[in-house]
Amino acid sequence: MAFINRKYKDSVFTDLFGSDIKAKKNFLELYNALSGSDYKLNEVSLERKVIEQSLYKTFNNDVSWEIDGKLIVLVEHQSTINHNMPFRCLEYVTRIYEGIIPLNKRYAEKVYKIPNPDFYVVYVGKDKQPLEQELHLSDAFDKKDSSKLELVVKVKNCSDSRSLPISRNCDILKEYCQFVEIVERTFNKRSPKRSFKKAIDIAISKGILSDYLNRKTREVINMLCAKYDYKMDIAVKKEEAFQDGKEAGIAEGISQGTQQKAIEAAEKALEMNLTVEQAAEITGLPLEQVLELKKQVTVNA
C-alpha cells in the first residue's frame, strides 16, 4: 500500500530509482550492487512504497521498495552524513509497516509476517568519508545497556564516480554520480535554470543518463531547482543559527535571559545539523552543555 503526498518534491535520485518508467530496473541494479545480491528483474516481485512523512519535511530524497519479502530503504545524502539517520529510518519504516499490517491483525494472536528491512544511505557529498560505514540507533541511547532495540543503516560512499567501489556492476549509479558532478561544476546561482540546462546538455553529449535526460529534461530542471532551493533554505537557516548564536554568545556575568537565548540558538544550530563543536563555538556555551542539548534534540526529533 502506498501513501503519496504530492506536496513533497522528488529529487532526481528519487525519480530515477523510484518513479521513472525504468525505476524498477534502475533500483534493482543499484540494490544488487549495494548488497552483493543478484536479483533478476523478471524473477522478482517488486512493489514501490511511498509514504506521506518523508525523511525530509518538504524534499523527498528517499526510495523504498519491497522486494521478495524484503523492505529496502535507500536515502541519498549530498551534504554531511546525518548521524540521526537511524532514528529517522525508524520513523520511516514504522510508517511503512503501519500501511502493511491491517488494523484487525495487529492484536491477533497469530504473528502477521512483515518484510525484513534493510537501510542504505548513498552518499554523494563532498566531505571525506570512509568507503563504507554503519550508523547504529543504539549510539543515540542515553546509556548503553542491554536494550534490544537496534537499527543499522549502511552508508556507502559514492561521492567520486572515478573511484566508486561499485561502479563495475552499477552503470546507472556511476552515471548518476557523474551527472551530479557536472551539475555541481556548472551551477550558477544567478541563473540556475540555465546552468541546469547546460549540465543536462553536457551529460547527454557524453552519454551520461542520456535516455533519461532526453525524455525528462524539463522535469529534471524543475527537480534540480527544487533541490537547490531546499539546499539554499537549509544554508540560510544554518547561517541564521550561526548569527543567532554569535549575538547570544555568553560570557561571565551575563543575564539569565541572554543565556536562554544562547541555549535556544544552540538547539536551533543542532537541528540544522551543525556539529556540537560548531554550536558551542557560535553560542559560547560549554561543550558539555551542548552535548546534553544534542541528546534532547535527538530524542525530540
Is residue 243 domain-resident?
no
- Do 226 and 252 lie in one domain? The reply is no
Q: Is pLDDT at 234 greater than 60 in this prediction?
A: no
Q: How confident is the model at residue 255 (pLDDT cuts 50, 70, 90)?
A: very low
- Do 181 and 293 lie in one domain? The reply is no
CB 58 within 8 A of CB 9: yes
Under 8 Å CB-to-CB from 227, ≥6 apart: which residues? 9, 11, 12, 59
Beta-bridge partners for 116:
70
Is residue 26 domain-resident?
yes
| Strand 152-157 versus strand 116-123 pairing type | parallel
What's the grid cell of residue 223? 527537480
User: By three-state DSSP, how is residue 214 classified?
Assistant: helix
- Do 195 and 284 lie in one domain? The reply is no
- Do 260 and 199 lie in one domain? The reply is no
- How confident is the model at residue 277, as a pLDDT? 72
- Do 73 and 165 lie in one domain? The reply is yes
Is residue 241 domain-resident?
no
- How confident is the model at residue 285, as a pLDDT? 77
Distance CA 50, CA 19 (A): 10
- Do 134 and 274 lie in one domain? The reply is no
DSSP string covering 27-70 = HHHHHHHHH-----GGGS-EEE---SS-SSSSEE-EEEEEETTE
Distance CA 34, CA 17 (A): 13
Q: Is pLDDT at 146 greater than 70 in this prediction?
A: yes
pLDDT in tens, 44-91: 999 998 775 444 444 466 889 999 889 999 888 877 777 888 988 898
What's the grid cell of residue 143? 546509556
- Do 183 and 274 lie in one domain? The reply is no
Domain stop point among 213, 236, 259? 236
Is residue 121 domain-resident?
yes
For helices 171-186 and 192-205, what crossing angle results, to 10°?
Answer: 140
Q: Is pLDDT at 1 greater than 50 in this prediction?
A: no
Is residue 1 domain-resident?
no
What's the grid cell of residue 105? 491483525
Residue 266 CB coordination number (10 Å): 28
- Do 228 and 163 lie in one domain? The reply is yes
- How confident is the model at residue 55, as a pLDDT? 42
- How confident is the model at residue 143, as a pLDDT? 79
Domain stop point among 184, 216, 236? 236
- Do 100 and 221 lie in one domain? The reply is yes
CB 113 within 8 A of CB 158: no
Provide the domain limits for residue 269: 248-300
Element (H, E) at 240: helix 217-247
Q: For the chain, how many structural domains are there in total?
A: 2
Q: Identify which of 82, 170, 156, 164 has the alpha carbon closest to the alpha carbon of residue 122.
A: 156
What's the grid cell of residue 147? 536494550
Is residue 68 domain-resident?
yes
Q: How confident is the model at residue 236 (pLDDT cuts 50, 70, 90)?
A: low
